[in-house]
């Protein structure tokens, strides 16, 4: 019988790439999400009926158990960058992760892959990072042979990192940054998916893997790469952290005063805390090298999806070339 993997958050940024790869491996893929009707884009990843979105709320035991029923492997890709309503950092990244691991162990699931984040630290000033660490600890307590992946900032066509700054650069002559000197090691989304698949198929040892691309650069340097890719000249303003906190507080007040109609997905005080810490792979950590994966360079992918923010979009290169034509 064809094997089945349940991917919690399988229609999201990373999850969809894992789903696509697992479909190519011949597995049936159950994509557990809160809104199945908005996740139909995953169905064409395989043959008819091979990839199916199903409803699941990871805050509820029965919902998680139903989505996992009959699965051979489980992947948890659920996480939040900002809190909203009942989806707090603790509820999703700590308790939700623990729930999936506990039920997976009870159901006798063979393999569990958990997507965490580089910088997960129980002693971090950031609640995001603390709850990521809490989730890891609870996953390993319930499912000791789990594979945990800690990627640095992830890039790819649907990312919320370079696309966000690309939109800002498209409309503004100044690109404001908080933590411009903080170092990152951007990792390609499909490389993260490949690492997860190694764990699902049993080709990798259990444990914690820190995933970063081949290049390390500051946030300001990465924005320079982004601006080069979109053919725009912009002033990069590296703001001090106290200014970042003022901005974040203002956005949070606006969210409160509008009763949530304005959601602060721009900058939070918790994100400012995270931006004070470098986000790079540790020297002694398990990494892509231990998985036999050669990570993809940023420059090999970035121009392929950031062209939409160029002055003339896909025709920008033609327009530049036309400037070199002789006038008759």
pTM: 0.94
Residue 133 lies in a domain: yes
Say what the pLDDT of residue 327 is.
Answer: 56
Say what the pLDDT of residue 326 is.
Answer: 59
Residue 315 lies in a domain: no
pLDDT tens-digit profile, the chain (328 residues) = 699 999 999 999 999 999 999 999 999 999 999 999 999 999 999 999 999 999 999 999 999 999 999 999 999 999 999 998 899 999 999 999 999 999 999 999 999 999 999 999 999 999 999 999 999 999 999 999 999 999 999 999 999 999 999 999 999 999 999 999 999 999 999 999 999 999 999 999 999 999 999 999 999 999 999 999 999 999 999 999 999 999 999 999 998 888 888 888 889 999 999 999 999 999 999 999 999 999 999 999 999 999 999 998 887 777 766 666 655 5
Query: For residues 81 and 64, what is the distance between their CA atoms, to the nearest angstrom?
Result: 21
Query: For residues 287 and 285, what is the distance between their CA atoms, to the nearest angstrom?
Result: 6
Number of domain units in the chain: 1
Residue 31 lies in a domain: yes
| Domain boundaries, position 23 | 4-158+185-214+279-293
Q: Pick from 211, 221, 80, 249: which is nearest to 162 by CA?
A: 221
Q: Tens of pLDDT along 199-250? A: 999 999 999 999 999 999 999 999 999 999 999 999 999 999 999 999 999 9
Residue 144 lies in a domain: yes
CATH of residue 87: 3.40.50.720
Residue 220 lies in a domain: no
Residue 43 lies in a domain: yes
Residue 308 lies in a domain: no
Residue 203 lies in a domain: yes
Say what the pLDDT of residue 282 is.
Answer: 96
Say what the pLDDT of residue 270 is.
Answer: 96
């Amino acid at each position: 019988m064809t094997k089945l993997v349940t991917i919690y958050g399988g229609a999201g940024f990373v999850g969809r790439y894992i789903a696509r790869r697992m479909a190519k491996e011949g597995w049936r893929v159950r994509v557990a999400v809160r809104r199945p009707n908005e996740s139909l884009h995953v169905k064409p990843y395989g043959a008819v009926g091979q990839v199916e979105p199903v409803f699941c709320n990871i805050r509820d035991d029965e919902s998680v158990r139903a989505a996992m029923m009959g699965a051979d492997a489980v992947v948890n890709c659920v996480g939040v960058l900002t809190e909203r309503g009942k989806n707090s950092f603790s509820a999703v990244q700590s308790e939700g992760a623990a729930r999936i691991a506990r039920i997976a162990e009870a159901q006798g699931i063979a393999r569990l892959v958990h997507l965490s984040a580089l910088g997960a630290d129980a002693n971090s000033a950031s609640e995001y990072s603390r709850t990521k660490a809490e989730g890891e600890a609870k996953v390993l307590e319930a499912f000791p042979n789990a594979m945990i992946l800690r990627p640095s900032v992830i890039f790819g066509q649907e990312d919320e990192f370079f696309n966000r700054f690309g939109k800002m650069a498209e409309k503004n002559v100044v690109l404001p940054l908080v933590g411009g000197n903080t170092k990152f090691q951007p990792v390609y989304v499909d490389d993260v998916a490949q690492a997860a698949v190694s764990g699902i198929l049993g080709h990798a040892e259990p444990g914690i893997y820190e995933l970063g691309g081949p290049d390390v650069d500051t946030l300001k340097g990465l924005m320079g790469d982004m601006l080069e890719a979109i053919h725009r000249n912009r002033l990069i303003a590296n703001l001090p952290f106290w200014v970042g906190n003022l901005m974040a507080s203002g956005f949070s007040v606006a969210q409160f005063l509008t009763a949530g109609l304005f959601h602060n997905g721009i900058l939070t005080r918790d994100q400012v805390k995270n931006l004070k810490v470098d986000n790079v792979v540790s020297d002694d950590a398990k990494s892509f090298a231990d998985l036999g994966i050669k990570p993809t360079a940023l420059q090999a992918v970035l121009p392929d999806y950031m062209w939409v923010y160029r002055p003339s979009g896909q025709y920008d290169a033609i327009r530049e070339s036309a400037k070199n034509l002789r006038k008759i």
